[in-house]
Structure 1
Amino acid sequence: MPRHLRPPHGPGKQFVNRRSLLDELFEVNHIRTIYHMFIALLILFILSTLVVDFIDEGRLVLDFDLLVYAFGQFPLVVCTWICMFLSVLVVPYTLFQLWAQSLIYVICVYFYLNQVRLIMKVHSFVRENVPRVLSWAKDKTSPGPVVPQFSQYLYFLFSSTLIYRDKYPRNPVIRWGYVATKFLQVLGCLFYAYYVFVRLCIPQFRISRGLFDLRAMVLCVFNSILPGALVLFLAFFAFLHCWLNAFAEMLRFADRMFYKDWWNSTSFANYYRTWNVVVHDWLYYYVYRDFLWISQKRFRAGAMFFVFTVSAVVHEYILAICFGFFYPVLFCLFMCFGMMFNFILHDKRKGPIWNIIMWTSLFLGQGVIICLYSQEWYAQRHCPLEEPSLLELLKPRSWSCDHRSPADIL
């Protein structure tokens, strides 16, 4: 491959046959006991809800209104996903194949897509294969350009990775019992999150709080740390472990390193690398390294800043779509405290005290996220705008919404 087309800093990600870390750790009885403790806490949440229903209503309510609200439009979601997937399946591959055969350069044809994960996959597919075709066009060492087969592209779209390769390590068989267990654990995490919000969040935030008050805000943040920590663990276990492992098992995808031992991190730099290896790999190879490649290995701080910006914008975009309002709390945490801690709590920080500092900062950040987004959620519903302007839509409603009753004010 010509020098100017080679990826920077050596070869890209190498896929090998390996299990997920929690699957190995759960074989140790001491670690599996922690899993049992979370199950016991879920049982207590369920019992608490049942007892409260009997005391207040004299019967079991079991309405699961929060889950119904969250998944009430599931058929619409499925239809939307099918349309997005078919567009990603057919259009980018067909355009790339036509471009490779005719050498007509098509720039950014896939940015019309409106789904983050599929955009990242299409970017990886194009980014990994364009240099190969350009190399063939320059050297003419083979009868035709090396275009991946459609089956390879289709497998990549479903695989539990964002880095395209023609081949991945594969397991010989599918353990369907393992797949069923992982999907049941995902379902259990959904009910777990439901009870966390119903028992720990909704009673706190649905009560009118009026305008901003420093004392109330401090109490809100600290009262939100426990549910925030539980939501963090549930999101990690449900998606990064159970969901990705279930699909990897069905596709016999053998490289299960979707995360590393992020809980042992003594620096935020290591935490960012190990919390979500799937996304980190994409950001590292296609944002950080490509930025250094374009800048000829200069501006490493600029490359890091660009990575944080891309990650913060994408995370905030996802939350804005899910919640239906714009409140850039997560963006500010990423760009301010996240980037600051990345340089302050760097890899030279070793020892237990730094792990304690990392966990303290992480829990506090989760409390801020749960508190501020929950307050804004209820403010959006208590104080709707009749004829909103662009400025009013961008301004957080919780800053000006005073929906206290006269009795509360007095």
Structure 2
Amino acid sequence: MAGEDCVRKRQPGSTTTCKSHENEETPRRPENERSFQNSSNGWVDVDRAVTRKMQLIAEAEQLKPAFMKEVDSHFTEFVNNLVAKSALLDSSSSASCSEKELHKAKTLRAPPEHGKIFTARRSLLDELFEVSHIRTIYHMFIALLIVFILSTLLVDFIDEGRLVLGFDLLVFVFGKFPVVFCTWLCMFCATVFVPYNLFVWWAQGYRSSSRRVFHSLFYGILFQTAGLGFGPTYIAVSYALPPASRFIVILEQVRLVMKAHSFIRENVPRVLSSVKDKSSTVPIPRISQYLYFLFAPTLIYRDNYPRNPTIRWGYVATKFAQVLGSLFYAYYIFVRLCIPLFRNSSQETFNLRGLVLCIFNSILPGVLILFLVFFAFLHCWLNAFAEMLRFADRMFYKDWWNSTSYANYYRTWNVVVHDWLYYYAYRDFLWFFGKKFKAAAMLSVFTVSAAVHEYVLSICFGYFYPVLFFLFMCFGMLFNFILNDRRKGPIWNVIMWTSLFLGQGVIICLYSQEWYARRYCPLDNPTFLDYLKPRSWSCHMKM
């Protein structure tokens, strides 16, 4: 061997030279080659090397989840701290306030930089759909839609002897669309001009005339209650709009009321602060800023929002196509799962057994409708408008599906509405009554949210049946305190999903039974109490 020849030469420095040469080559060799060389008498323990390698792989797989969880938590904390620090830097650079000025601001209301911070970020589902495993779940829902379509076509072909491609249900629920469009156009134009001009009129004459302040307040309240409050509701009821058309009118009514309130609520403290500081200029936003806010997918007013540099029109077309697909998905769910179940429900006696079976049979369509509403509106619809407006903050929801408490679920399911309720209902309640009344503030927020939800359903369905209000105020409040943020284990996520499934089954079952009962058991001369009393409880007596 080369090493033995070097030793036999006995020349000074030759052995050292050869050994150093070997030491230089040793680190360059792979690990397995060194193990082969170090084996005695040329024997190589391959089994032991393979076993050791498998042990290392198993240990790495065991450490991988903990490592990824730790990295994710540290990364999330780092990003949150970075956003908070950047917001503080922006606020400090834009206006360096002294302690005296901050005290003045606190007596009025917390300044905007202490409220919601808008920053450029993508929607969570857009990030998750880049993972092939999550995208497969999306493909599974598409496959289920194809199964619903095939089922409907085959059943119609067997019953009718031909393929029936009519969409009578969609045509019915979205009927009288010209009335809907005219109503929306009037609501939107009124919301553009009336609140803005009243605010400008008040802000310019606040210092000089107390009468102008009273007039602005009076006409503002009158517009909110009569113009946006009573007008759309009267049109929806008097024109007998179908359910989906009513939903468009009433949801736009609620949205515009919340938008107008946010605009006034954010700008009035700025005018009051400028008056106290004896500023020569009155901070009045431009009409273009207010108009952008009316279309932007947020309910919190700011003069400026983070914007993207370009518009991806392919992304916009994809999101609107997904909204249309979700609409047809909901159509087939009602046709295949709901209508056959509830069409003849009024012919059966109302009893406990039938109610329990109805609830459990309604869980599947109820959960699918829940997913479709979330995906179509909170993800696709809002992202489409955000992309067209280059609105960069796309956090319309968070990972509500991972919630282990109802408190976290309420915060993450619909971030857009939650922000409005938190800043303008919860925090303003504490600012007005004091921080000692947090429970009362939470109860007031639940009551407002439950009342608005029940108002929307009552007008859109044409009857008062406070199932959702009861679930909100009883079970919702109860679970909010029982399943609180201290519940972190996976079993609480299972409990949350189980209760959510049951709640969707109750909502679909009871509202659908009442809908068909009022169609099959009409009253000749109904009184006011007849509109409040559930007709599904006694409809079988009329058959």
Report TM bin, short chain: over 0.9
Q: Distance in 2 between matches of 1:120 and 1:97?
A: 19
1:388 aligns with one of 502, 526, 532: 526
1:56 aligns with 2:169: no
Rg bigger for which structure? Answer: 2
Aligned to 2:139: 36
Q: Distance in 2 between matches of 1:387 and 1:10?
A: 57
1:267/1:358 contact within 8 Å kept: yes
Identity percentage of aligned residues: 74
1:269/1:345 contact within 8 Å kept: yes
Quote how far apart the aligned CAs of 1:210 are.
Answer: 3.6
Once the two structures are superposed, residues 293-342 of structure 1 have per-residue CA deviations (whole angstroms, 9 ceiling, x without a partner) of 00121210000000100000011111112111111100000000001000
Q: Distance in 2 between matches of 1:339 and 1:209?
A: 35
2:224 aligns with one of 111, 123, 137: 111
Aligned to 1:348: 486
Q: Distance in 2 between matches of 1:211 and 1:162?
A: 46
Q: Distance in 1 between matches of 2:358 and 2:112?
A: 46
The residue identity in structure 2 corresponding to 1:152 is Q
Aligned to 1:408: none
2:118/2:393 contact within 8 Å kept: yes
Distance 1:338 1:209, change over 3 A: farther
Aligned to 1:284: 422
2:119 aligns with one of 16, 22, 39: 16
1:270 aligns with 2:408: yes
Once the two structures are superposed, residues 49-105 of structure 1 have per-residue CA deviations (whole angstroms, 9 ceiling, x without a partner) of 010011000111222111011112222111110010001011000000000001132
Once the two structures are superposed, residues 143-173 of structure 1 have per-residue CA deviations (whole angstroms, 9 ceiling, x without a partner) of 2210000000000000000000000000000
2:397 aligns with one of 253, 259, 278: 259
1:314 aligns with 2:427: no
Work out the number of aligned pairs and report it: 404
Once the two structures are superposed, residues 221-265 of structure 1 have per-residue CA deviations (whole angstroms, 9 ceiling, x without a partner) of 000000000000000000000000000000000000000000000
Once the two structures are superposed, residues 175-228 of structure 1 have per-residue CA deviations (whole angstroms, 9 ceiling, x without a partner) of 000000000000000000000010000000001344421000000000000000
Aligned to 1:89: 192
2:322/2:380 contact within 8 Å kept: yes
Q: Mean alpha-carbon deviation: is it higher for 56-65 or for 26-35?
A: 56-65
Q: Distance in 1 between matches of 2:398 and 2:131?
A: 17
Q: Mean alpha-carbon deviation: is it higher for 131-140 or for 235-244?
A: 131-140
Matched position secondary structure for 1:16 = coil
2:521/2:542 contact within 8 Å kept: no
Q: Mean alpha-carbon deviation: is it higher for 71-80 or for 26-35?
A: 71-80
User: What does residue range 173-252 of structure 1 map to in structure 2 within 5 Å?
Assistant: 173-207=310-344, 208-252=346-390
Structure 2: runs of 5 or more not aligned? 1-100, 207-211, 230-252
Matched position secondary structure for 1:254 = coil
Q: Distance in 2 between matches of 1:345 and 1:378?
A: 35
Quote how far apart the aligned CAs of 1:7 are.
Answer: 2.4
Matched position secondary structure for 1:116 = helix
2:270/2:283 contact within 8 Å kept: yes
Q: Distance in 1 between matches of 2:427 and 2:327?
A: 37
Q: Distance in 1 between matches of 2:202 and 2:281?
A: 12
Aligned to 2:296: 159
The answer to which structure has the higher helix fraction is 2
Q: Mean alpha-carbon deviation: is it higher for 303-312 or for 393-402?
A: 393-402
Aligned to 2:476: 338
Structure 1: runs of 5 or more not aligned? 406-410
1:66 aligns with one of 169, 184, 192: 169
The residue identity in structure 2 corresponding to 1:130 is V
Once the two structures are superposed, residues 1-60 of structure 1 have per-residue CA deviations (whole angstroms, 9 ceiling, x without a partner) of 623202299810000000000000000000000000000000000000010011000111
- Normalised by the length of structure 2, the TM-score is 0.73
Aligned to 2:129: 26
CA RMSD of aligned residues (A): 1.3
Q: Distance in 1 between matches of 2:539 and 2:109?
A: 55
Matched position secondary structure for 1:386 = coil
2:450/2:469 contact within 8 Å kept: yes
